[in-house]
Structure 1
Amino acid sequence: MKRRLLWGLVLLAGLLGLGYGLWWLISQDPGYVLLAFKGFRYQSSLWAFLALLLVTGLLGWALRRALRLLLLSLGVVNPWSRLHRGRRLRLACEQGLLDLAEGRWQPALRHLRRAAEGSAQPLPYYLGAARAAEEMSDSASAEQLLARARERQPKAELAITLTQADLQAERGDWAAAQATLQQLRDQYPAHPQLLRQLQRVLTQRADWSGLLGLLPDLIKAKALPAAQLQTLQEQAWQGRLLAAGQAGGEALATVQEAWQQLHARERQNPLLLKAYASQLQALGADEEAESVLRTALKRSYTPELVGLYGQLRGRDPGKQLQLAESWLKQTPQDAQLLLCLGRLCLRNQLWGKAREYLEASLQFARQADTCIELARLLASQGDLARSNQLLQEAVQLRGGQWPSLPLPSGH
């Protein structure tokens, strides 16, 4: 603070000294200036002329400063003037992307379209604008923007077409999306994102044959995690078997043919085994379904298959029951196995034993199917109160169908 005060005093003293010296010079000799040109004549003292030059210079500087401030103010009032084209473009880019992320589709479309037309690299802005247009159900504008993107950046055909297929899927035009991606796949057969999008479309359209044909490329490109690929493969084969079971008069042969197309390792998958056996059962081939599950369960006991095994009528129901009872040694408290045994006892008309197994199953797990089977048995034996109670419980647990198995007559 003291140092600043000292410097201020020194400056003031210097200015006073300068002023005094200038006054002394002026008082000693005012000088004389004469300017003449043709008819023009100007004369003045030297010091007055110097003062005029100084004032003129200051006025010129002030005028230039004022004009600059005026132009800047005009740029603020009208941000879309040509003077600030770069600034306008940057603002349009930033605001458009922000609007798109926050779901403000109309301003996003306006800003991104403007940014795309003014940018040397317009691709992300055209794609964003197309997505905003699609969100407003303006598919025509979205397609026009994608076409414009192709004109401006023809080398970005892959990115543009992937976006186009994605927008087609969003509007529910899955067939068009599949056609778009299939055409692109000819050029980019191993592109992970293309394969992922095509997988999504094929799954949505339940095109299980197409999906099974795509799976090797998905695996090779590592387009999805291994666990997801496994789930997808199981889903595709389950769908394929289900579709085969709806093939009309040739359904049984179609299902069997589809099953033979699986690799030996895949035919041991419990989910696929259950899907295949269920289709055989639905087509009246219970004996074949029982044989398939019996072989699988002998190889490896699987709770998912036991429930279905109890619903199948094999060639020898007595042997079915003996085989199922042999599994009790390793899983005596398996509610699903006990339900299976209860159903097989009903199949063999062993009413008392069936009731014991069904009651035991309910002790370990309250399942709707078990309640229903026991309710049917009790109703046929005259215990209507308990039967109705179990039926009500089954309705609360889960409604559903159950196999029509024999019951004791005479009640």
Structure 2
Amino acid sequence: MMTMRGLIWFVLLFAAAAGLALVGVFDGGQVLLVMPPYRVDISLNLFVVALVVSFIVIYTVLRAVRSVLKMPQRVSAYRTRSRLAKANAALRDAIGHLYAGRFSKAEKSARDSLIADENAGAAGLIGAKAAHEMNEYARRDEWLAKVQESDWQDARLMATADMRADGRDADGALVALTEMQAQGGRRLHAQQIALRAQQQLKNWGEVLKLVKTLEKREALHPAVAVRLRQVASENLLRDRRHNPDALLEFWQSLSATERQSPRLADLAAELLIALDRRNDARKIVEEALNHNWDARLLRRYPDCASPGDALPLIQRAEAWQKERTEDADLMFTLGRLCLHQQLWGKAQAFLESALKLADNEPLKIRTHRALARLHEQLGDSEKASLHYRESALAMNVV
């Protein structure tokens, strides 16, 4: 670019010189300057040359004077540009140090970048994050207080909520989120932070609402969503463990998938049995077993029998047995139900079948103990002792 510009100037100067040379050939006149008592007579060509040279000299002198007068202003502008460049470089370094995990250096660079007022917002957030990662919460709040610009308030509140939730200050996180929502901000990340805060506060009703909302917006991994829904539902069931009607009302409010969860169904049945609502517990277990066959629910099923009236449950379990003839857990359940109904012969047959089919130690231990109690009821202490001994030997003690 500079080469082309120089070439153009050279061509122009050459053309001007050539033009002056051509004009100078024609000496067409004289210029007479009279200033009594002086008189100067010069050629026209010389006068033109002198006039041009005088203009150039005067212009150059004026430019030099102007430059001298503006020197302080130019020096000040240079210093401002230099300070701004250093501040921006420090801000870039702060970002690099922050994401590289060099939090102390990130905070120092953020502080250096504050020499430019316009960096206050970004530097404040970077410094706050760096201080937070070093567990310097008081210094973190000082950095956040430096963020005063209105354009940065959403960022400040979001960062405050995120860091407070990370620091187990759930109340502080929710206060920041509430303030942000009051200003019209309702974002996906804010709901994710609120979910963490509500978990910490054990506000399981809010957790359940937020999980459903985030799941609809595909902001939670499906496995995480299932786990959180399950944990929230379990705790909400336990909160109603003293009120069977409230417990059943909440149970009906759950989705069909949640009601079919073996873990939730087992807990609900356990709580209802403790409240002597065995018929309701039985319905919950049977519905869940119809969709998800689970050994845990089978173990809970005998507890759902009313005192002295296990026949309906035995009939239902025998219907299942027709389709699952080799299920050891089902055999064990039938054995327990028959024990409950004092059907000693059938109980022994089912329990011995369960023992033959059992492929895991816990089931073998439970079956031996059930057989031991059966023989105690029958007055056969020798066989009872034998099964107690077998249950003890089945344990792997390290």
TM over 0.5: same fold? yes
- Aligned match of 2:28: none
- Aligned match of 1:281: 273
1:345 aligns with 2:313: no
Q: CA deviation at 1:279?
A: 1.7
- Aligned match of 1:52: none
Q: How does 1:160-239 map to 2 (within 5 A)?
A: 160-188=156-184, 190-239=186-235
> What do the CA deviations read for 1:178-204 (whole angstroms, capped 9, x no partner)?
333244344457411111111122223
Instruction: Tell me the TM-score normalized by structure 2.
Output: 0.66
* Contact 1:97–1:128 (Cα < 8 Å) also in 2: yes
Find the partner of 1:377 among 371, 376, 387: 371
Supply the AA of the counterpart residue of 1:337. L
Q: How does 1:6-25 map to 2 (within 5 A)?
A: none
* Contact 1:355–1:374 (Cα < 8 Å) also in 2: no
Q: CA deviation at 1:312?
A: 2.3
What's the secondary structure of 2:124's corresponding residue?
Answer: helix
Whole-angstrom distance in 1 between the partners of 2:349 and 2:152: 70
1:312 aligns with 2:304: yes
Whole-angstrom distance in 2 between the partners of 1:284 and 1:396: 37
- Aligned match of 1:408: none
> What do the CA deviations read for 1:210-260 (whole angstroms, capped 9, x no partner)?
223334532454332455434433332222112111xx4xx2232123223
Supply the AA of the counterpart residue of 1:292. I
Greater Cα offset, 137-146 or 111-120 = 111-120
Find the partner of 1:357 among 335, 347, 350: 350
Q: How does 1:261-300 map to 2 (within 5 A)?
A: 261-263=253-255, 266-297=258-289, 299-300=290-291
Whole-angstrom distance in 1 between the partners of 2:183 and 2:271: 39
Supply the AA of the counterpart residue of 2:125. L
- Aligned match of 1:321: 314
- Aligned match of 1:404: none
- Aligned match of 1:391: 392
Q: CA deviation at 1:124?
A: 4.3
> What do the CA deviations read for 1:131-166 (whole angstroms, capped 9, x no partner)?
2212333212111211212x1x32232222121112
Supply the AA of the counterpart residue of 1:235. V
* Contact 2:261–2:288 (Cα < 8 Å) also in 1: no
Q: Are residues 351 and 110 of structure 1, via their aligned partners in 2, closer, same or farther at CA, if it must alter by over 3 Å?
A: farther
Q: CA deviation at 1:324?
A: 0.7
Find the partner of 1:243 among 232, 236, 239: 239
* Contact 1:339–1:357 (Cα < 8 Å) also in 2: yes
Q: CA deviation at 1:275?
A: 3.0
* Contact 2:285–2:297 (Cα < 8 Å) also in 1: yes
Q: Are residues 189 and 256 of structure 1, via their aligned partners in 2, closer, same or farther at CA, if it must alter by over 3 Å?
A: farther
Supply the AA of the counterpart residue of 2:199. T
What's the secondary structure of 2:342's corresponding residue?
Answer: coil
Whole-angstrom distance in 2 between the partners of 1:168 and 1:181: 11
- Aligned match of 1:46: none
> What do the CA deviations read for 1:86-145 (whole angstroms, capped 9, x no partner)?
564355334433433344433322222323553745544322311221233321211121
Supply the AA of the counterpart residue of 1:314. S
* Contact 2:177–2:194 (Cα < 8 Å) also in 1: yes
What's the secondary structure of 2:382's corresponding residue?
Answer: coil
> What do the CA deviations read for 1:56-92 (whole angstroms, capped 9, x no partner)?
xxxxxxxxxxxxxxxxxxxxxxxxx989545643553
Whole-angstrom distance in 2 between the partners of 1:272 and 1:234: 7
> What do the CA deviations read for 1:240-287 (whole angstroms, capped 9, x no partner)?
112111xx4xx2232123223335665445444333222212323223
Supply the AA of the counterpart residue of 1:341. L
- Aligned match of 2:9: none
Q: CA deviation at 1:341?
A: 2.0
Instruction: Tell me the TM-score normalized by structure 1.
Output: 0.64
Q: Are residues 358 and 205 of structure 1, via their aligned partners in 2, closer, same or farther at CA, if it must alter by over 3 Å?
A: farther
- Aligned match of 1:112: 110
Q: Are residues 89 and 301 of structure 1, via their aligned partners in 2, closer, same or farther at CA, if it must alter by over 3 Å?
A: closer
1:126 aligns with 2:118: no
* Contact 1:109–1:133 (Cα < 8 Å) also in 2: yes
- Aligned match of 2:91: 93
Q: CA deviation at 1:317?
A: 0.5
Unaligned runs of 5+ in 2: 1-78
* Contact 1:126–1:146 (Cα < 8 Å) also in 2: yes
Supply the AA of the counterpart residue of 2:205. S
Greater Cα offset, 281-290 or 269-278 = 269-278
- Aligned match of 1:158: 154
Supply the AA of the counterpart residue of 2:249. E
* Contact 1:291–1:314 (Cα < 8 Å) also in 2: no
Supply the AA of the counterpart residue of 1:174. A
Q: Are residues 133 and 385 of structure 1, via their aligned partners in 2, closer, same or farther at CA, if it must alter by over 3 Å?
A: same
RMSD (CA atoms): 3.3
* Contact 1:89–1:118 (Cα < 8 Å) also in 2: yes
Supply the AA of the counterpart residue of 2:338. C
Q: How does 1:3-82 map to 2 (within 5 A)?
A: none
* Contact 1:112–1:126 (Cα < 8 Å) also in 2: yes
* Contact 2:331–2:353 (Cα < 8 Å) also in 1: yes
What's the secondary structure of 2:368's corresponding residue?
Answer: helix
